[in-house]
Chain A
């Protein structure tokens, strides 16, 4: 669920129109509105700060080049951005050799955390975050879009190229997998 008020939607609509007219300042404002979500989405797919930043940059560069092809069919601009981000991240993951990237990514992110803030709840959140990073791409994508980005099923379906029913099935499987991973970790 995109928590945007109507005024913000109107503002965004105007910004998109200006960006389509090659108004770079308007595009810069769109960047400010959505960069955190785009970056976060990519980060949870590629699990690396540096790669997430590179891919976030590529996402906005592609968006700038293709913004005149954006059509407002009731799909929020951020969903369009996230679809670009998704395609770039998946392409990147396919081309990347499977290796020790997971460990590198966790190290990257752990360095940003303040250990003094770790409480029991935060420890649970950290466990679930690490479990998410162990999910397959498809399940991870759906989990991030649904629960981190808070998107509705049709928006998720549009981004990942599946039906709403398929997204619900993936969501169920992903939560089951997360539960097993977290349980295994707490036992181990």
Chain B
């Protein structure tokens, strides 16, 4: 019998492959309540990926720092279209 750590990992993988929650839980009836609660928490985390992005100015400041490091500065560290290219 798998322990709850392994059961959680299996359920997460099952969900990742596209199964629904019930299908993931049915293999582990002994841990059902605990796993269900944890999987519900996990489902809330993934959307956070879209919520945090760096400011556009960061690119320009990194570009400036990298230019200082280069032995022979090149005309375009970042490809055309970015703020850095426009600034230099």
Contact = CB atoms under 8 A, between A and B. Distances in A.
B46 A148 contact: yes
B77 A57 contact: no
Contacts of A176: 38
Given A61-B69, A148-B45, A28 B16 contact: no
Nearest to A57: B62
Contact of B76 (A25, A128, A150, A171): A25
A182 B44 CA distance: 11
Interface string A91-115: 0000000000000000001000100
B38 A147 contact: no
Contacts of A36: 53-54
Interface residues of A, number: 46
Interface string B50-77: 0111110011011101100110001011
A15 to B, nearest CB: 11
Contacts of B9: 153, 168, 171
A129 interface: yes
B37 interface: yes
Contact of A172 (B8, B48, B54): B8
A179 B49 CA distance: 19
Which secondary structure characterizes the binding site on chain B?
helix
B87 interface: no
Given A28-B84, A148-B48, 8 more contacts: A25-B74, A25-B78, A31-B59, A35-B59, A39-B52, A53-B61, A61-B62, A168-B9
21 contacts: A39-B54, A40-B49, A44-B48, A53-B58, A53-B61, A61-B62, A125-B47, A127-B44, A129-B51, A132-B45, A132-B48, A143-B45, A147-B45, A147-B46, A150-B46, A150-B49, A172-B4, A175-B8, A175-B41, A176-B38, A179-B41
Interface of A: 1, 24-25, 27-29, 31-32, 35-36, 39-40, 43-44, 49, 52-53, 56-57, 60-61, 64-65, 109, 113, 124-125, 127-129, 132, 143, 147-150, 153, 168-169, 171-172, 175-176, 178-179, 182
Interface of B: 4-6, 8-9, 16, 37-38, 41-42, 44-49, 51-55, 58-59, 61-63, 65-66, 69-70, 74, 76-79, 82, 84
